[in-house]
Chains A and B, each alone.
Chain A
Amino acid sequence: MKIHQVKKITRSTRIPQANAADRCCGSGKGTETASCCGPLMIVAGGEITDKVPGFISWVGTAAEKVPRIATSLTYADHAGACMARWGINRMRYIVPPGRYAIGTPGPDAPVLVTGNYKMSFDMVRNALSGRNAWLLVLETFGVNVWCAAGKGTFGTAELVRRIQKTGLHQAVSHRQLLLPILGAPGVSAHEVAKRTGFTVRYAAIRAEDLPSFLDNGMVTTPEMRKIGFTTYDRLVLVPVEIVLTLKSIALFGGALFLAALLANGFGAATVMTLAYLGAVLTGVAIVPVLLPWIPGRSFAVKGALAGVVWSADLYLYAGGGSWSVTTTIAAFLALPAICAFYALNFTGCTTYTSPSGVKKEMHLGMPAMGSAVIAAVLLLVVGRFL
């Protein structure tokens, strides 16, 4: 029963509405990061002013308040994206919702819809460089399109409201909206058409495909609607995942260190704490990056396998020969379990795991992981008295 309640409030973080020119910390085509569902606090985008990112000038009448914005990103835009990926200042990584002009759009210019997470906004305007278009930014409370669609904030109601609020019916003569494909879970295209007269076209998954979409007579190629999960996509998710686990690492790591210090002295406590930290990092960072190459479909299994490798490494390089039998068994039980837990946690970030699958893994995996850790602790305690 309870699980149903959560449905309304939680949503996976998965990724991207739009991969494109975000050159955070290096080069390459980025994917918009979204760690678990974005900000914890709800922050709205506020009103459009001449302080919006990339502001050039006002267009149309003063009452309309439509800013013309630049399509090139500045150093500050890149730096902000980079920080957001590390979870810094993410709550304020937001732009005001409303209608924006790119180039000098007329009544026949295309209308592109996106959310007000600044990284989404930047990717889309950057992809539209050299074109005339309208950008309709929905209030998604600083959450990327994909997660916002899952929560319903990037949704039919907000789209209809924003169309009316921004006077889109008067601004354009056509009746077509271009939406990101990953916004589709929140929007009912036929509802929007019924309520506003605008037809919805789902253009592409990635903002970087928009130029070729627009140049080729608005045709979505099969490639453009295929979601990927490249090594780079997975890599950029790791920093924020690490930041999010810091608290529990400090808590459990600290407690473990103290307990081991009292029971076994400084040397053993250090080794145990490092073993624990390694298991967490393997689950949080190594498993996501090496995902396609670790055997198995289940994330818990992938995590456990990686954890066994980590335990074996420890055994080989951290003096496993001198471990007692109970310590050795405890290590090979607890470390893979910890790793499996964090690997399972990563399903929230992927672009291909189904909630039903995650649920199944949890019901089978959580008791197994819990028992393994409890058994390991008992073995360590028993081992001390042998």
Chain B
Amino acid sequence: MFGLRYLENVVTLRLNPAGCTGCGRCVEVCPHQVFALEGRKARIDDCDACMECGACAKNCPVRVITVDAGVGCASGMINEWLQYHNIRRGGGGSCC
């Protein structure tokens, strides 16, 4: 995406192609073109482009995709981090 790429080798996205039916949903929902269909199987084409939104995993009818989706909110995570290290108290989840 025009030079905007995030860190490498951090993404938790996994695909187990064995059960894949080639339905193409993962290609349809991914806003970053992470998947490609090759014949009747999906393949992870650009793992580092994944932003872990979870759309592919949620929409794969045979559940062969896993991704640790969820927290994206930096300020929420920073608050958590501070609380975890007892630097700041209270106000958990103040982000949302």
* Contacts from A to B (Cβ < 8 Å): 2-3, 5-14, 36-38, 40, 149-151, 181-182, 184-190, 202, 205, 220, 222, 225-229, 291-292, 297-298, 344-348, 350-363, 366
Contacts and interface: CB of A to CB of B under 8 A. Distances in A.
Interface of B: 1-8, 10-12, 25, 28-33, 49-55, 58-59, 61, 68-78, 80-81, 83-84, 92-96
Nearest to A353: B6
Nearest to B28: A202
Contact of A151 (B29, B81, B84, B96): B96
Contacts, number: 179
B55 A362 contact: no
A347 B10 CA distance: 15
A61 to B, nearest CB: 35
Contacts of B84: 2-3
Contacts of A2: 80, 83-84
A354 B11 contact: yes
Given A6-B92, A37-B96, A292 B71 contact: no
A154 B47 CA distance: 26
Chief secondary structure at chain A's binding surface: helix
Contact of B5 (A3, A40, A297): A297
Contacts of B77: 3, 6, 10, 355, 358-359, 362
Contacts of B92: 5-6
A181 B27 CA distance: 11
Given A37-B96, A185-B58, A351-B51, A6 B71 contact: yes
B74 A12 contact: yes
18 contacts: A6-B92, A11-B71, A11-B76, A181-B28, A185-B58, A188-B59, A190-B59, A225-B30, A298-B7, A345-B75, A345-B78, A348-B76, A353-B72, A354-B51, A355-B69, A355-B71, A355-B77, A359-B71
Contacts of B75: 36, 345, 348
Contacts of A298: 7
A108 B81 CA distance: 52
A354 B71 contact: no
A344 B69 CA distance: 19
B58 A186 contact: yes
Nearest to B7: A357
A184 B29 contact: yes
Contacts of A229: 1, 4
Given A36-B76, A356-B11, 13 more contacts: A7-B70, A7-B71, A40-B96, A185-B58, A190-B59, A346-B74, A352-B6, A354-B72, A356-B68, A357-B7, A357-B10, A359-B77, A362-B74
B93 A6 contact: yes
Contact of B72 (A38, A202, A291, A348): A348
